[in-house]
Amino acid sequence: MLLRVVDLHKRYGREEVLKGVSFFLEKGETKVIIGPSGTGKSTLLRCINRLTEPDRGRIWLEDVEITSPKVNINRIRAQIGFVFQDFNLFTHLTALDNVRLGLMRVKGMGKKEATARALQELARVGLADKAKAYPAELSGGQQQRVSIARALAMDPKLILFDEPTSALDPELIGEVLAVMEDLAKSGMTMLVVTHEMGFARSVADEIIFMEKGVILEQGPPEQIFYSPKHPRTAEFLRRITDLYGGNR
Q: Which of 129-133's residues contact partners 24+ apart within 8 Å by CB, and which partners?
A: 130/95, 131/94, 131/95, 131/96, 132/94, 132/95, 132/96, 133/94, 133/95
Q: Which is nearer to other proteins, 62 or 137 (CB)?
A: 137
Taking the least distance from each CB to other proteins, the nearer of 167 and 178 is 167
Closest CB to ligand ATP among residues 37, 186: 37
Nearer to ligand ATP, 42 or 165 (CB): 42
192, β-bridge pairs? 32, 161
Residues 223, 93: Cα–Cα separation, whole Å: 44
Contact 28, 49 (CB under 8 A): no
Q: How far is the CB of 37 from ligand ATP (least distance, A)?
A: 3
117 scored as a contact of ligand ATP (CB under 6 A): no
Q: Shortest Cβ distance from residue 225 to other proteins (Å)?
A: 31
Binding site for other proteins (CB under 8 A): 49, 51, 74-80, 82, 84, 86, 88-92, 101-102, 105-106, 133-137, 147, 150, 154
One of 30, 42, 144, 147 touching Mg ion (CB under 5 A): 42
110 binds, among Mg ion, ligand ATP, other proteins, none (CB under 5 to 8 A by kind): none
Neighbours of 154 (CB within 10 A): 20
17 touches ligand ATP (CB under 6 A): yes
Return the residue of 38, 170, 220, 246 that touches ligand ATP, per CB under 6 A.
38
Pairwise CA distance, residues 42 & 236, whole Å: 18
Strands 158-162 and 80-83 come out as parallel
Interaction between residue 43 and ligand ATP (CB under 6 A) = yes
Measure the CA–CA gap between 170 and 172, rounded to whole angstroms: 5
Cα separation, 121 vs 159, whole angstroms: 15
Binding segment for ligand ATP among 35-43, 74-82, 91-99, 123-131 (CB under 6 A)?
35-43
Residue 54 binding target from ligand ATP, Mg ion, other proteins, none, CB below 5 to 8 Å by type: none
Burial of 231 from C-beta contacts in 10 A (0-12 / 13-18 / 19+): exposed
Of 18-26, 42-50, 112-120, 133-141, the segment contacting Mg ion by CB under 5 A is 42-50
How far is 106 from 97, CA to CA, in rounded Å? Answer: 13
Which residues contact Mg ion by CB under 5 A?
42
